[in-house]
Amino acid sequence: MKSSLLFFSLCFLCLCISLLPSFSTSTILFQGFVWASSEQEGGWWNHLKPLVGEIAASGAEYVWLPPPSNADVNGSQGYLPKRLYDLDTSKYGNKEELKSLVAAFKQSGVKAVSDIVINHRMPERFDSNGNSIFEGGTPDSRLDWGVAEICRDDPEFHGTGNPDTGIGWGQVPDIDHTSTRVQQELSDWMNWLKTEVGFSGWRFDMVLGYAPKFTKLYIDNTKPEFSVGELFEKVALGNDNKPLANQDAHRGKLVNWVNEVGSGVLTFDFTTKMILGAAVEGELWRLKDGNGKPPGMIGTKPESAVTLVDNHDTGSQKTYPFPEDKIMLGYVYILTHPGHPSIFYHDYFERQSGIKDNIKSLSAIRKRNGITATSSINILAAQADLYMANIANKIIVKIGPNENLGNLLPSNAQVVANGQDYAVWELK
């Protein structure tokens, strides 16, 4: 009897472990849209469907899709959401088109991640007293809120809820996440996105807008396979408008947020993104911190870092964009280093074809050599014109125009990728 109980206990433990996100693997995320995607003729969901195979070929396990719900006319990209259950009047397409797209991705081995915008919400209308009236998009009053669900810090919207637990966001009502009704109904909606549409994970928009404990609550209530939060703040700049050499405080905020949320959550490594963008402009010394490690989040908590070159904010809207002529160097870095790399639709599909092929090649090298989010890294050189690193004793990557490598390259290194100012070797 005892042996049977032990057997079933071990089986249950193994099942629980198998259901947890595997953040030590080489997970790759693909951002499947740009800022202007809502303007696509024929709808974005229909536009993406023929590209599913190409996106799967990038090596991505997850594709991040834009906010799928009905949104305010002044925020057609979905970041001013209104009727959350209404997936038929999104500028990206209707519900059936979205379900078909998500199913196509799943069949190709790629799981869909939905953009979750819950810090703020646009009212459907205002009553005669100027009070905000929200509609969820269902006949049974789910997500039909009023001023009680708005933080009292928003007096222009007559909010009567508790004070905001994060920063405010423009002229849009901030939602009171301390409300048990808000917590329950948002959790129910997210679970509905999983069962009705087929989403497997979440990208939480603007997590600075509410306390980390609420992100934890929504993750605990919905149990996504993949979850990543957007904590976007600019790095500290010097008088020359370049990032300061030491960005420990910036990455420390990312690490602290992840630690507070727990639950296996990830966050975008904006520290690495900002430093890398400056480093490739002839200042590659920036890619090594005072402890001899990468200067971004991947140098302190790589298992929780989603690395990026650009996204719909930084690239499409030119908010700290990566240098145009150095895009490939950015992908060489993130696809060979620890962390979870992400690939941006614009870089993959809307630049010269060579970049797409090179990204595919680098992804294949990463997977072939078992490079993971927590792979070891030994930085061999970090000079103005030369950066070299040994990753997991499996590959060596070089970035920069300097070809004088001295004895940095061992005799068993075989080049497997190269281009303008970069090369990657496998150690045979």
The first and second tokens of residue 405, run together, are 């490598």
Is 88 part of any domain? Answer: yes
350: which strand partners? Answer: none
- Measured CA to CA, the distance from residue 371 to residue 233 in angstroms comes to 28
The first and second tokens of residue 193, run together, are 């996105």
From first to last of its 428 residues, the chain has per-residue pLDDT tens of 444 444 444 444 444 434 444 445 779 999 999 999 999 999 999 999 999 999 999 999 999 999 999 999 888 899 999 999 999 999 999 999 999 999 999 999 999 999 999 999 999 999 999 999 999 999 999 999 999 999 999 888 999 999 999 998 878 999 999 999 999 999 999 999 999 999 999 999 999 999 999 999 999 999 999 999 999 998 999 998 899 999 999 999 999 999 999 978 999 999 999 999 999 999 999 999 999 999 999 999 999 999 999 999 887 777 889 999 999 999 999 999 999 999 999 999 998 778 999 999 999 999 999 999 999 999 999 999 999 999 999 999 999 999 999 999 999 999 999 999 999 999 99
The dihedral region occupied by 406, where left means phi > 0, alpha psi between -120 and 50, and beta the remainder, is left
Supply the residues annotated as catalytic: 205, 230
- Measured CA to CA, the distance from residue 97 to residue 88 in angstroms comes to 9
Please state the φ and ψ torsions of residue 403, each to the nearest 5 degrees: -100, 0
Structural domain count, the chain:
1
Is 409 part of any domain? Answer: no
Is 402 part of any domain? Answer: no
Task: Please answer whether residues 376 and 59 qualify as being in contact, where contact means their C-beta atoms are separated by less than 8 angstroms.
Answer: no
Range of the domain at 292: 21-375
Is 10 part of any domain? Answer: no
305: which strand partners? Answer: 267
Neighbour-count burial of 321, counting CB atoms closer than 10 A to its CB (0-12 exposed, 13-18 middle, 19+ buried): middle
Question: Given the DSSP bridges, would you call strands 226-229 and 201-204 parallel, antiparallel or unpaired?
Answer: parallel
Is 396 part of any domain? Answer: no
Is 112 part of any domain? Answer: yes
**What CATH number is given to the structural domain containing 281?**
3.20.20.80
Task: Please answer whether residues 169 and 79 qualify as being in contact, where contact means their C-beta atoms are separated by less than 8 angstroms.
Answer: no
Is 423 part of any domain? Answer: no
Is 394 part of any domain? Answer: no
The per-residue pLDDT for 154 is: 86
